[in-house]
Amino acid sequence: MEYSSVAIGKAVEGLSKFPGIGKKTALRMALYLLRSEKQVTLDLAKALVSLVEDVVFCERCFHISEKKICGICENSARDQKTICVVKDFQDVFAIESTSYYKGIYHVLNGLISPLEGISPEKLTVAALLKRVEEEEIEEVILALPATMDGDTTSHYLVNKLEEARRIKITTISRGISVGGELDYVDELTLARSIIDRKNY
Amino acid sequence: MALRLENIKVQNFRNHKDIVLSFSDGFNTIVGNNGAGKTSLLEAISYLLLTKSFLTSSEKTMLNVEADFFLLEAGIDEKKVRIAYQEGKKQIFVNEEKIQKLSDYYGLFNAVWICPNDIDLIQGNSEGRRKFLDRHIAQINEQYLMDLLGYKKYLQRRNAYLKSLGNSTPDHNLLDIYDEKLIYLGSKIAKSRQVFINDLIDSFRKNYKKISEIDEQVNIIYESQALKDSFSNNLKQNRFSDIAAKRTLLGVHKDEVIFYTLGMHTKIQASQGQIKNFVVALKCAVFQLIMKKKKQMPILLIDDLNDRLDLFRLKNFIAYLSNFQDAQIIITDTREETLSEIFSSLKLQNKLIRL
Ligand SMILES: [Zn+2]
């Protein structure tokens, strides 16, 4: 399609890269931004630049952060002996929104999934094992999706953790939803499944 | 109780633009010249009952060349079934309610087909024989389909992992987990397959004797590595070969079924006539087994009876089929007069459907 403006063409190109956004919707978004107050669009542009330049990943738990160590890890009021292992940082947001969980996290950055070319060494498994060996961890909660790859990853982690050190390993209740991803579960169900967690 | 297909409406399915037919209990014979579309009508019926064709696994080939969708409707056992295929997707409705999972539909209505391709069961590769086992075991055992799908998914993952390894060191912890699943599901599948063959063999032999009218010894042997006590060890010991081959070399995906006639391989030694009798007797045995296990008489679909048996055996065979009490049997053939004579001489009701 011709947009009769290189700038609009570029904006449409960029916006259509969002999952679920086609060229048509991208054009509508670009035109909306163009018609909005200039400052609104400039603020958004600044926020986007800051997103790539200022957001880093916590060196300890791999959650998104602005410093080397994230606010959750740094918070001494939180239980530093309990780690909740999640697939990605969206799951941290989901669990945090329940405000029932007082421990810390470990973000795996995915699940073991050979079909997508993700083998264990592409995840933060080694860093998790190192944490369990070096920090005074007492319990690891596995909060991974109830899918085939989620189950395989949990199983893999349990074997590795048991090899590393004797600690308590629990898992959140499986009944959440078949193939359910954490961020689609309602807060109450999620809060209950963390409280009712079972030994693996 | 016999399952009963009351009527069908077929739209844009192969050469049928729009056709409505009704069926009666017992025998129904679809007659017409070659090219009239008898086989594709039977295929549409098979697809309605099982969401499977006996000719192809691709819906695209079933689609009329001038259309972008096909629609099949049927009254089956007082239920209204509709299957629509469009843009690579199929949707199934039973009494206007959408079926969410294919596995919820498969097994709801049972049917067995007998068609010229059946000789591939004997002459073709082992994959066809495993598909035969899977299709029919899933009709009588709901858990089987789940186990099979699980097995396939784990196998896919294990193979993808082996393929991705290149020269890097394999993670044996991960392979251990996949192996454990493959051993658990594989041995369940192998047991179900063995039970199926065991359940089939007696009535298969009886059918063969009746249909061939010769008392020759026939046998079916199921072979699986997963039935051996040493399977779990064998899989572990074979791991380095798997890594070199970049795929899983042992398991139920390698199972074989071997057919014997007079103590020799049917595939190599039997005549065309013996092979045809063999597969017809086998399919009839499957039909009887489903009837027994599901306590519901399936529908028997026979494509091109002409191809199956000579005139002398045809009469015998139809007489034999009439023993399946009130089963609905739908046959395609080109010989209207011959069939009518056979049915009347046997004093059997037959609904003739001319195309
Ligand atoms: Zn952190």
* 3-state secondary structure labels for all residues of chain A: CCCCCHHHHHHHHHHCCCCCCCHHHHHHHHHHHHHCCHHHHHHHHHHHHHHHHHCEECCCCCCEECCCCCHHHHCCCCCCCEEEEECCHHHHHHHHHHCCCCCEEEECCCCCEHHHCECHHHCCHHHHHHHHHHCCCCEEEECCCCCHHHHHHHHHHHHHHHHHCCCEEEECCHHHCCCCCHHHCCHHHHHHHHHCCEEC
The domain made up of A70-199 has a fold known as: Dna Topoisomerase Vi A Subunit; Chain: A, domain 2 (3.40.1360)
| Angle, alpha carbons A61-A65-A67 (nearest 5°) | 100
Other Cβ atoms within 10 Å of B339 Cβ, number: 22
Distance CA B193, CA B181 (A): 18
Count Cβ atoms below 10 Å from residue B132 Cβ, excluding itself: 19
Q: Could you give the C-alpha distances from B269 to B209, B260, B262, B264, in angstroms and in order?
A: 18, 9, 9, 6
A171 close to B176: Cβ distance less than 8 angstroms: no
Q: How far is the CA of A60 from the centre of ligand 1 (A)?
A: 5
Furthest-apart CA pair in chain B: how many Å?
74
Asked whether the beta carbons of residue B177 and residue A152 sit closer than 8 angstroms, the reply is yes
- Nearest chain A residue to B171, by CA: A120
**B135-154 residues touching A, CB cutoff 8 A:** 150, 153-154
β-pair type (A104-107, A139-142): unpaired
Q: 3-class DSSP state for residue B168? A: coil
In a domain? residue B71: yes
- Residue A100 CA to ligand 1 centre (angstroms): 18
A159 at interface of B, judged by CB pairs closer than 8 A: yes
Residue with tokens 């045995």: B285
Q: Cβ distance B81 to B48 under 8 Å? A: yes
| Cβ count near A7 (within 10 Å) | 10
Q: Look at chain B and count its residues.
A: 355
Q: How far is CA A136 from CA A140, A163, B50, in A?
A: 11, 16, 58
For this complex, say whether ipTM is above 0.90.
no
Q: Report how far residue A23's alpha carbon sits from residue A16's, in angstroms, rounded to the nearest whole number.
A: 5
Q: Is B305 helix (H, G, I), strand (E, B) or coil?
A: helix
From A14's Cα to the closest Cα of chain B, the distance in A is 29
Q: Where do the structural domains in chain A lie, given as residue ranges?
A: 6-54, 70-199
Average pLDDT, consecutive stretches of 10 residues, N- to C-terminus, chain B (355 residues): 94 96 95 90 96 90 94 96 94 95 88 93 96 95 92 97 93 96 96 98 95 92 95 94 96 97 94 92 96 92 78 84 90 90 93 93
- What confidence score (pLDDT) does residue A200 get? 80
Cα–Cα distance between A111 and A117 in angstroms, integer? 10
Determine contact: B196 vs chain A, CB below 8 A: no
Task: Find chain B residues with C-beta within 8 A of A121's C-beta.
Answer: 171
Strand, coil or helix: what is B114? strand
Please report, as a single letter, which amino acid is at residue B344: S
Q: What is the pLDDT of residue A76?
A: 95
From chain B, the residues in CB contact with A160 under 8 A are: 173
How do A56-57 and A64-65 pair as beta strands?
A: antiparallel
Residue list, CB under 5 A from ion ligand 1: A 58, 60-61, 63, 70, 73
d(CA A125, CA B174): 13
**Positions in chain A short of pLDDT 70:** 1, 173-186
* Contact status of A156 with chain B (Cβ, < 8 Å): yes
Q: Which residues of B touch A114 (CB under 8 A)?
A: 157-158, 160-161, 164
Give the C-alpha separation, B182 to B154, whole Å. Answer: 7
Residue B9 structure tokens: 């409406």
Which one of 1.10.8.420, 1.10.287.1080, 1.10.10.10, 1.20.1740.10 gives the CATH number of domain A6-54?
1.10.8.420
Of B153, B160, B173, the CB nearest to A159: B173
In a domain, B16, yes or no: yes
Among the partner-chain residues A117, A152, A159, the one whose CB lies closest to the CB of B164 is: A117
Residues of A in contact with B164 (CB under 8 A): 114, 117, 119
What pTM did the predictor assign?
A: 0.85
Give how far A123 is from chain B: nearest CA, Å.
Answer: 13
Cβ contact (<8 Å) for A117 and B176?
A: no
Residue B258 lies in a domain: no
Indicate the residue of B153, B173, B178 with minimum beta-carbon distance to A160: B173
Which of these, A92, A101, A13, A121, lies nearest to B170 by C-alpha position? A121
- Which three-class secondary structure string do you get for B41-97? HHHHHHHHHHCCCCCCCCHHHHECCCCCEEEEEEEECCEEEEEEEECCEEEEEECCE
Using an 8 Å Cβ cutoff, are A97 and A73 in contact? no
* Closest Cα in chain B, distance from residue A110 (Å): 15
Rounded-to-integer distance, Cα B22 and Cα B96, Å: 20
For B322, which DSSP code? T
Range of the domain at B74: 1-110+296-355
Following DSSP, what letter does each residue of B135-162 receive, concatenated?
HHHHHH-HHHHHHHHHHHHHHHHHHHHH
- Cβ(A65)–Cβ(A71) below 8 Å: yes
Q: Does B243 touch chain A (CB under 8 A)?
A: no
Residue B171 lies in a domain: no
- Positive or negative torsion for Cα A95, A62, A64, B161: negative
A120 close to B (CB below 8 A):
yes
CATH of the domain at B70: 3.40.50.300
Number of domains in chain B: 1
CA-closest candidate to residue B40, choices B63, B24, B22: B63
Residues 6+ apart with CB under 8 A from B230: none
* CB proximity A122 to B under 8 Å: no
- In the three-class reduction of DSSP (H, G, I as helix; E, B as strand; rest coil), residue B258 is classed as strand
Shortest alpha-carbon distance between residue A148 and chain B (Å): 8
B119 in Cβ contact with B276 (< 8 Å): yes
3-state DSSP assignment of residue B354? strand
Closest residue on chain B to A117 (Cα): B164
Q: Do B157 and A117 touch (CB under 8 A)?
A: no
Selecting from A114, A121, A160 the residue whose C-beta is nearest the C-beta of B160 gives A114
